[in-house]
Chains A and B, each alone.
Chain A
Amino acid sequence: AQSVTQLDSQVPVFEEAPVELRCNYSSSVSVYLFWYVQYPNQGLQLLLKYLSGSTLVESINGFEAEFNKSQTSFHLRKPSVHISDTAEYFCAVSDPGGYNKLIFGAGTRLAVHP
């Protein structure tokens, strides 16, 4: 069975500081990896995903994540955060043969302070 662990439930950070949100997964098979963001009273939006190829993936709004197979991790980073990045971030995995079933971590609430 697959599982996802997000190591921090809350991450407070000051504006323009760097941030890392940690995600580890457990799976006996290869996986696809995703980061989703949820703003208050909204659904989830995809930030970025890793399917194959380059282990470093980037989003259009400055976030990046690196797939590390040996450490089974997919940490999300941003070199300089903005107030508008305040949201809940979810790491998720899916089984390449398992159709559209996402297994989510518990989420990390990122709070950016001025």
Chain B
Amino acid sequence: KAGVTQTPRYLIKTRGQQVTLSCSPISGHRSVSWYQQTPGQGLQFLFEYFSETQRNKGNFPGRFSGRQFSNSRSEMNVSTLELGDSALYLCASSSPAGSGDTQYFGPGTRLTVL
């Protein structure tokens, strides 16, 4: 079974721009979660989607948004990029979808904001 895939793997943007990251979960998985990883703040939960609905959200500003499609693929969007948004963005999928289920992580998208 193919793992979680994230595209693109690397991205360079400038302040003020917006960016969209994509995540394809493992086949059959319906829950997708997003995390931000930075050297200063570590791994922080952004949000989680299940069956196209956001079920949980972390403490991030409204510039961070996401969505999930009917095939469970998910995208996250960051508008008006700031230097502090430079990070590795990880998505994870799981099934069925309870908090004890194993989350399988993708390799991440490394975003650099200049």
A104 CB–B CB distance under 8 Å: yes
Q: Which residues of A contact B (CB under 8 A)?
A: 32, 36, 41-46, 49, 51, 90, 92, 94-107
Q: Whole-angstrom distance between the alpha carbons of A32 and B31 in the complex?
A: 18
Q: Which residues of B contact A (CB under 8 A)?
A: 4, 31, 33, 35, 42-45, 48, 50, 55-56, 58, 90, 92, 94, 97-108
Interface of B is mostly: strand
Quick check: B56 and A101 within 8 Å, CB to CB?
yes
Interface of A is mostly: loop
Candidate in B43, B50, B55, B107 with the most chain A CB atoms within 10 angstroms: B43
Return 30 A-B CB contacts under 8 Å, by A number.
A32-B99, A36-B105, A41-B107, A42-B107, A43-B90, A43-B92, A43-B105, A45-B105, A46-B102, A49-B102, A51-B100, A90-B43, A94-B99, A94-B100, A95-B99, A96-B99, A98-B56, A99-B50, A99-B55, A99-B97, A99-B99, A100-B50, A100-B55, A101-B45, A101-B48, A101-B56, A102-B103, A104-B42, A105-B42, A107-B42
Q: Whole-angstrom distance between the alpha carbons of A104 and B92 in the complex?
A: 14
Taking the nearest CB of chain B, how far is it from the CB of A47, in angstroms?
11
Instruction: Tell me which residues across on chain B come within 8 A of A32, comparing CB atoms.
Output: 99-100
Quick check: A101 and B98 within 8 Å, CB to CB?
no
Q: Whole-angstrom distance between the alpha carbons of A101 and B101 in the complex?
A: 11
Which of B44, B48, B106 lies in contact with A100, CB distance below 8 A?
B48
Quick check: A99 and B48 within 8 Å, CB to CB?
yes
